[in-house]
Each structure stands twice: as structure tokens, then as C-alpha cells.
Structure 1
């Protein structure tokens, strides 16, 4: 694994532990020679992880829409900064540049990015690992909600398992590094269900 896309908040959050976790993840990535790909911002947890990667001598690549760069939230000291036209192009390029994905604590945008790559994985559009760094129980509710979707028959257990989660950066990176993709059955399952209805 050469590069990881990290989704995280443009805010610092309510607890210092979130920024601490961003620095820890940055340290583990640099130690394992894994480059950072992220949204290109210099604010909140985005800025924290990028600055720590750079401070430790790692590679940090940002992808940011021109509109956000114009608002002066772009990080101008990155190893590479790609300026794109909109959010759709941003997410596509981030995914293309990355060998896997990690979601740290963040807001609605972080969740949207996480679930997009999970959906792509479920459909077999990519075979890259996806994980959440569950800092201080931040993602406990989301993990429980996903399990409820399984219990209610909307998500299969193997699909829910595509969202790996760990509290430790080193343990999460180990799981992503050793991830073995399984063939997607989502489309076949949908066709089978349709056949049963006919």
C-alpha cells in the first residue's frame, strides 16, 4: 500500500483527542512509508494530519475545488496540490490516487465521502479497503446503525464488514494492509431478488 485517502473534519471537533489521533495516524503512515491523500485543506483535522505528515518528512497530496481554494482554506505547502473544478472531480481524483480509505471523525461531508467509497466497494467498482478510525467511540453509533441495517435485511453481513473499524491507528492500518477483497455479489443478489418477484 503506497497511499491512503484520509477523510476527516474541516473542524477540530470538541475534544483534543481527535487532533491527537490525526497526528498519531500521520506518524504511523509516515513510519510505514504510506503517502497521504486528502481534501487539500489547511483547517481543522485536515490541516492537522497534513501538517504532521509534512513535519515528519512524508508525502501529502491534496485535492481541492477552486471555490474552496479561493476561500483561502487550501494548504499551499503540500507535496502536491491538485486544483479541480468541483466536489465530484475532487472525490474521483482522491479515489484514483489512493490504495485505500480511512475516515476519521468529521461532519456530513466526511460521512458522504465514506459511504460513497463503501458503495463503490459493495458494487465491485473498486477492491480497495475502507476503514474508520473510531476515536474515543466517535463512530460507535454509526457501527451500531450499520448492524441494524443488517438485522433489518437492507444490508448483508459481508457488505457491512467492508467498513472495517478500529480504535487504534496501527491496528486499522494493519487491517487495511492485509485486506483481501471478495467478489461483489450485490448486483447478482438484486437480480436474484427480482427473479423471485416475477
Structure 2
């Protein structure tokens, strides 16, 4: 049975970067989600790839919810034309709110913040705290080395193969969304089942 994804959290850079293809793809992701009636949930910035995702969705009649911590909510950073803007007290509350508002997650190219969000949501999935699909959009091979590192972790038996299945990857947003819709979550680990005697 296909997942009917109505909202997706997008993790990505608040910088423009220097790769034109990646910059254009950020707008295209927002546009694609909007035209497929999927709400964009993101970090609330008007800058960089984050701003392009929001712009792509808003210019195509999409719904965009920004979630931004209070200390970042300055006129130089925050996007004021969103469908909804939610202010949180800190970064931890922001991530939890984005999780609660979203039925899936996609990581676009980014830096430390993007990776931190991606790996935290993957860890939550590994622990059975949620069963939502998580995708990496590998635009212009941006994440090749990271994916190679994940495979090395699995080869060295420091990452279970079944946990690797949590990472859905494509360089095409339409293909990635289909993988997310087809995603079947792992059963909760036995040691996590509090009801087990």
C-alpha cells in the first residue's frame, strides 16, 4: 500500500553554494512538491537553497510552513511570505515540530545543519520512534562520498544492513518521491518493545 504523503520536511543549506545545478534543483523541488499537492515544511529562511525551495513552492500555489527558532528570526533571515511561520524557542524544539508536521523527509545538498537534521531523523527511525520515509536527493552526485561512507559503515558491521534500508536515494525528485511512497518501515526492534514479556 502506497504512502499518501501530504507534507514533507525539506532539509537543505541556507547558503546559495556555487553549483548552479544544485541551486536550480532546490527551486524545482519546491515546484514539484507544490504541483503534487504536498506541503513543504522547512526551516523558515529566505536565504540560500532553503529560500529557493520555498520560492519554488509558493510560486506554484503550494503551501509552505516555515519553522524557525526565535534567535534566528531576524528580518535578514526569515521568510515573511510563507503560508505559515512557526517560531520555536530553540533548535531542538524546531526539529521536533518539523517532525510532527511532516509525513516524510528529504535532504537536499547542505552543510553541517542539513547533515545533523538528516542523521537525527534517521536515528529516530532506526530506534522505531517514527515510521516515516527519509530521502536523500543526490543532485549532481553531491552525496556520493557520504553514501560511500554509509556503505563502509555497513561493511564494517557498525551499521546494520536493515538500517541502511532507511536511506532512500535518487538524483531525481519524481523517482525519490515514488520510493518514499513505496517505503515499508521496519518492525520495531524487539528490545524496544516494552510490552514484550
TM-score, normalised relative to structure 1: 0.92
Residue 41 (1) aligns with residue 41 (2): no
How many residues are treated as equivalent by the alignment?
188
1:54 matched to 2:44? The reply is no
Match of 1:152 in 2: 156
Match of 2:93 in 1: 89
What whole-Å deviation, never above 9, does each CA across 1:145-167 have from its counterpart, x for those lacking one? Answer: 00000011111111012011100
Counterparts of 2:44 and 2:161, CA distance in 1: 34
CA contact (8 A) 1:7 1:110 kept: yes
Which has the higher mean CA deviation after the structures are superposed, 75-84 or 22-31? 22-31
Over the aligned positions, Cα root-mean-square deviation in angstroms equals 1.2
* 1:186 Cα offset (Å): 7.7
Q: TM-score, normalised by structure 2?
A: 0.92
| CA displacement, residues 119-150 of structure 1 (integer Å, 9 cap, x when unaligned) | 00000000000010000000001110000000
1:43-84 CA-partner distances (Å, limit 9, x unpaired): 000000101100100000000011101363010110000011
SS of 2:183's equivalent in the other structure is coil
Deviating runs (4+, > 6 A) in structure 1? none
Question: How much does 1:184 deviate?
Answer: 3.1
Deviates more, 1:116-125 or 1:63-72: 63-72
Q: What does 1:127-142 correspond to in 2, within 5 Å?
A: 127-142=131-146
Structure 1 residues not aligned, in runs of 5+? 189-198
Contact 2:32 2:57 in 1 (8 A): no
Q: Secondary structure at the match of 2:96?
A: helix
Q: Distance in 2 between matches of 1:80 and 1:71?
A: 16
Q: Which runs of 5+ in 2 are unaligned?
A: 193-197
Aligned match of 1:195? none
